[in-house]
């Protein structure tokens, strides 16, 4: 595990404008100031209890090796997730949303076309697949097809008209799955939580907090990604990415700036060093002891990043990358998740699901929340670590 505190290495990284993987690695070795923390590498996966104590409770980003080594997506040629393997496995005309144009309209492409684009584009901020539906949709689609084809041998290898069930190619690691409270919601009411990411080199995800104060894990099936994390109390105005086309849309009516493509490349290469300094100055002058307020790491193939609830984060794809990511709610962030549910019906339903779970709890430590009258009055009652997930 390698987590680098960049707050203390601004002087080192400013000069090189933090452009590449090499820079991030250099920062690890040259950072010696008192405010720098380098979490020692650990390739032994922690137990759920240790993960809870060392990462979730202190709200600390993490980078884990060896949690996905056994996944079929990593070990099986037939079930691999390289872009080439996905191209072979998916229907050639299956459209993926890959971004939006100058009008804010969605741009879609089948994966084989997208692969050509990946290899040949020279864009400053290339399009990328960030698909919240494919894993789940394929799952239900396959279930239906499975019902219809009950009498026939059914395997996607033999039935190319049906998309493969990608959810069978990975297993949610135990440290993230023992508490997954949003899974208590009926499937059709659960907010999107699972994304396939197919991202060319130079593309990225702008700085943001995850929806509903969920935590997340992100598993890299191939490629290399650079991550930066900022403390949840960082002022929002320091955590913005300029829209790529902002200069071109000045004065244009009917354009929602939120729909515009962000200049993630520019943020990482031209702004990040200054942003780090501003964030550092903000926390230095806050009069409070915050500890580490900015982390950075380089995620390689086969490694999983943990993003704690409410931490700002941004991702830059150093190489062509394929990743799967899931957001989740555990006992640590369940109150925050409830507070962030704007839809009152959903919040009530979630409160009911948690109540039902409490009723069925067999051990005191499984009772995570005390639900009184309304979900907004949820109160955590158990701070004990989760029990190990069933094998």
Ligand X SMILES: O=C(O)CCC(=O)C(=O)O
Residues lying near ligand X in the complex (CB under 6 A) are found at: 197, 205, 208, 210, 216, 218, 225, 315, 323, 325
Q: What residue ranges in the chain does DSSP mark as E strands?
A: 3-5, 38-39, 62-64, 95-100, 106-110, 129-131, 194-199, 204-208, 215-222, 224-230, 294-300, 304-307, 312-317, 321-328, 369-370, 379-380
Q: Please tell me the distance from the alpha carbon of residue 63 to that of residue 313, in angstroms, as a whole number.
A: 14
3-state helix/strand/coil string of 26-75: HHHHHCCCCCCCEECCCCCCCCHHHHHHHHHCCCCCEEECCCCCCCHHHH
User: φ, ψ for residue 304 (rounded to 5)?
Assistant: -120, 130
Work out how close the CB of 261 gets to ligand X at its nearest, in angstroms, rounded to a whole number.
14
Q: Please tell me the distance from the alpha carbon of residue 377 to that of residue 373, in angstroms, as a whole number.
A: 7
Beta bridge partners of residue 379, listed in sequence order: 370
Q: Please tell me the distance from the alpha carbon of residue 204 to that of residue 314, in angstroms, as a whole number.
A: 8
Of the two residues 118 and 323, which places its CB atom closer to ligand X in the complex? 323
Of the two residues 10 and 294, which places its CB atom closer to ligand X in the complex? 294
Work out how close the CB of 208 gets to ligand X at its nearest, in angstroms, rounded to a whole number.
6
Q: Please tell me the distance from the alpha carbon of residue 97 to that of residue 130, in angstroms, as a whole number.
A: 7
Of the two residues 130 and 181, which places its CB atom closer to ligand X in the complex? 130
Of the two residues 129 and 178, which places its CB atom closer to ligand X in the complex? 129
Q: Please tell me the distance from the alpha carbon of residue 376 to that of residue 124, in angstroms, as a whole number.
A: 44
Assess contact for 27 and 13: CB atoms under 8 A. Answer: yes
Work out how close the CB of 8 gets to ligand X at its nearest, in angstroms, rounded to a whole number.
25
Work out how close the CB of 220 gets to ligand X at its nearest, in angstroms, rounded to a whole number.
8
Work out how close the CB of 175 gets to ligand X at its nearest, in angstroms, rounded to a whole number.
17
Of the two residues 115 and 241, which places its CB atom closer to ligand X in the complex? 241
Of the two residues 13 and 325, which places its CB atom closer to ligand X in the complex? 325
| CB neighbourhood size of 198 (10 A) | 29
Work out how close the CB of 197 gets to ligand X at its nearest, in angstroms, rounded to a whole number.
5
Work out how close the CB of 33 gets to ligand X at its nearest, in angstroms, rounded to a whole number.
29
Q: Return the half-sphere exposure (C-beta side, CA atoms, 13 A cut-off) of residue 283.
A: 20
Of the two residues 131 and 210, which places its CB atom closer to ligand X in the complex? 210
Cα dihedral 367, 371, 376, 378, rounded to 10, equals -30
Contacts of 106 (CB under 8 A, 6+ apart): 97, 99, 100
Of the two residues 322 and 367, which places its CB atom closer to ligand X in the complex? 322
Q: Return the half-sphere exposure (C-beta side, CA atoms, 13 A cut-off) of residue 213.
A: 16
Q: Please tell me the distance from the alpha carbon of residue 208 to that of residue 234, in angstroms, as a whole number.
A: 11
Of the two residues 12 and 317, which places its CB atom closer to ligand X in the complex? 317
Q: Please tell me the distance from the alpha carbon of residue 69 to that of residue 130, in angstroms, as a whole number.
A: 23
Work out how close the CB of 324 gets to ligand X at its nearest, in angstroms, rounded to a whole number.
9
Work out how close the CB of 128 gets to ligand X at its nearest, in angstroms, rounded to a whole number.
7
Of the two residues 115 and 325, which places its CB atom closer to ligand X in the complex? 325
Work out how close the CB of 193 gets to ligand X at its nearest, in angstroms, rounded to a whole number.
11
């Amino acid at each position: 595990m390698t987590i680098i505190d960049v707050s203390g290495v601004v002087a080192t990284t400013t000069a090189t404008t933090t452009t590449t993987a090499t820079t991030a690695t250099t920062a690890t070795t040259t950072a010696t100031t008192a405010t720098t923390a380098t979490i020692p590498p650990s390739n032994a996966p922690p137990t759920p209890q240790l993960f809870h104590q060392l990462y979730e409770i202190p709200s600390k980003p993490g980078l884990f090796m060896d949690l996905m080594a056994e996944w079929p997506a990593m070990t099986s040629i037939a079930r691999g997730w390289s872009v080439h393997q996905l191209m072979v496995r998916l229907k050639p005309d299956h459209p993926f949303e890959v971004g939006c144009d100058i009008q804010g309209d969605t741009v879609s492409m089948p994966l084989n076309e997208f692969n050509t684009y990946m290899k040949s584009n020279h864009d400053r901020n290339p399009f990328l697949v960030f698909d919240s539906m494919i894993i789940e949709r394929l799952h239900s689609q396959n279930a239906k097809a499975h019902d219809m084809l009950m009498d026939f041998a059914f395997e996607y290898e033999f039935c190319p008209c049906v998309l493969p069930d990608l959810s069978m190619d990975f297993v949610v690691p135990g440290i993230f799955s023992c508490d997954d409270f949003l899974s208590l919601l009926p499937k059709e009411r659960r907010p999107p939580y699972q994304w396939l990411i197919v991202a060319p080199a130079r593309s990225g995800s702008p700085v943001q907090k995850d929806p509903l104060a969920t935590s997340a894990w992100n598993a890299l099936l191939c490629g290399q990604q650079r991550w930066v994390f900022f403390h949840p109390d960082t002022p929002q105005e320091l955590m913005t990415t300029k829209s790529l086309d902002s200069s071109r849309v000045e004065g244009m009516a009917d354009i929602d700036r939120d729909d515009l493509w962000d200049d993630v490349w520019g943020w990482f290469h031209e702004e990040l060093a200054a942003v780090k300094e501003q964030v550092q100055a903000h926390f230095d002058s806050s009069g409070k002891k915050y500890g580490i307020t900015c982390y950075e790491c380089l995620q390689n193939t086969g490694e999983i990043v943990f993003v704690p609830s409410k931490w700002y984060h941004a991702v830059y794809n150093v190489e062509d990358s394929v990743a799967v990511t899931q957001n989740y709610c555990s006992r640590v962030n369940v109150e925050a998740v409830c507070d962030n549910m704007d839809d009152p019906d959903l919040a009530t339903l979630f409160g009911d699901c948690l109540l039902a779970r409490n009723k069925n709890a067999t051990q005191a430590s499984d009772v995570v929340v005390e639900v009184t009258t309304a979900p907004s009055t949820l109160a955590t009652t158990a701070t004990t670590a989760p029990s190990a997930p069933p094998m």
